[in-house]
């Protein structure tokens, strides 16, 4: 089994106009996604929705003189709005599951093996 992080990038304008009902039905899509993952024999190891990127703060280490700035590290049109950590067979299964994920843009990143004795990535 391999592990992947799904980074969900979406337009935040949605939050400006979303109604309570629409928000609930979006959450139901995530419940359905979780069921689909389980049904595929894969698993969700973790995941959260994130508050808007306007609530983010960034700490830059700045050569020993840490600098705190307002906002996300990278400003993009579609902001990072949530994530999942998925355990599944291989990249093909991860990509198949990402296609079911209720988000407009999903970056799929393999999780690095950092158990004791692991080698640095090639």
Partner 1 sequence: MSGGGVGAREVVQLVDEAHREFWSTVLASTVRLTRDIDLAEDCTQDAFVQALRTWPDGVPTNRAGWLTTVARRLALDRLRRETTLRRKLPLLIEDPAAPGDDERPTDPLRLVFTCCHPALARDSQVALTLRLICGLTTREVAAGLLISETTAAARITRAKKKIVAAHIPYRIPADDELADRLDAVLTVVQLVYTAGHVAAGPELTRADLTGRALELARLLVRLMPTEPEPQALLGLLLMTQARGDARVSQDGELVLLADQDRSRWDARLLAEGVSRATAALQQGRGRFALQAAVAGLHVTAPSWETTDWHQVVRMYDAMLLSWPSPIVALNRAAAHSLVPGADLDAVLAELDALGNEPALKSYSYLPAARADVLARLNRPAEAVKAYDEAIALTINEAENRFLQRRRAALL
Residue 122 binding partner 1, by CB under 8 A: yes
CA–CA separation, 14 and 10 (whole Å): 8
For 18, the token pair is 């979303």
- Closest approach, Cβ 91 to partner 1, in A, equals 5
Report how far Cα 99 is from the mean position of its chain's Cα atoms.
Answer: 14
> What is the C-alpha radius of gyration for the chain, rounded to an integer number of angstroms?
17
- Closest approach, Cβ 50 to partner 1, in A, equals 24
Minimum CB distance to partner 1 smaller for 19 or for 116: 116
Residues between 88 and 117 that touch partner 1 (CB under 8 A) = 89-92, 94-95, 108, 110, 113, 117
Q: How many other C-beta atoms lie within 10 A of the C-beta of residue 12?
A: 13
Residue 119 binding partner 1, by CB under 8 A: yes
- Closest approach, Cβ 75 to partner 1, in A, equals 25
Minimum CB distance to partner 1 smaller for 71 or for 110: 110
- φ, ψ at 69 (rounded to 5°): -125, 160
The residue to which tokens 């979406």 are assigned: 10
Residues that bind partner 1 (CB under 8 A): 2, 89-92, 94-95, 108, 110, 113, 117-119, 121-122
């Amino acid at each position: 089994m391999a592990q992947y992080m799904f980074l969900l990038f979406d337009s935040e304008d949605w939050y400006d106009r979303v109604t309570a009902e629409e928000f609930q039905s979006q959450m139901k899509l995530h419940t359905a996604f979780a069921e689909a993952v389980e049904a595929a024999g894969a698993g969700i190891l973790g995941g959260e929705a994130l508050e808007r990127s306007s609530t983010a703060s960034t700490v830059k280490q700045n050569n020993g003189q840490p600098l705190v700035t307002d906002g996300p590290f990278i400003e993009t049109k579609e902001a990072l709005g949530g994530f999942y950590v998925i355990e599944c067979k291989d990249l093909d299964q991860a990509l198949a599951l990402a296609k079911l994920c209720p988000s407009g843009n999903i970056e799929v990143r393999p999780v690095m093996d950092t158990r004791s004795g692991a080698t640095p990535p090639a």
